Structure 1
């Protein structure tokens, strides 16, 4: 909880320095790469969890601000609630699948497999449907 509080305090500075697009690519990829480390040295799972928690605390305020800035004021709360629900529901198959994988193999193998899936999925997502797009001219919708 302390790690989350400290890192979320720096979200605006990270966004200013690196931009939304770069931050939304580098942080999740960095987390996914950290998932691969425990297979080489299992003790690395502990710092991985701290970095993962801290990175998530950086990502969510930046993503929420981006969504907030690109939605008109009418219906904004509904869209933000829907995005939050989709984030929660999207994690269910990964939680179930990784638990089944860990039961069949080992927890370290499950973490490594998740890291590989996240890296491949993230690269495909950014290649074919980037979550942060450059606005076309005249398409910018400033926040109210």
Structure 2
């Protein structure tokens, strides 16, 4: 299995088998944004162009770390005034990413019933869950 690229990730007393890393995934909306010069956001998919109050907004985020990551970094999203901090539950932790691997993960942003109709900016950020920094700044590398 290891020769084929599969990995074992510890989970309690057991191990979870993780498929070989993807290196060629292409997002619908490409970006070239960096978090603290360590994590590169390659882009995102939004399966729904319109979301209504009370429905979640689904976001698929494409990210990579060319040199690996030494801490647990988690993205968070903000849709207008609404912020969603996601947990590490059932996610491949950034410490388990292989250098150059494209990690595609699905996140949901709750849209409250009280949010008035309109267009809202979607913002992303990263938090270092191992401590040290409350938020990791995003930049275009320039």
TM-score by length of 1: 0.29
**Higher RCO (C-alpha under 8 Å, 6+ residues apart):** 1
**Higher share in strand:** 2
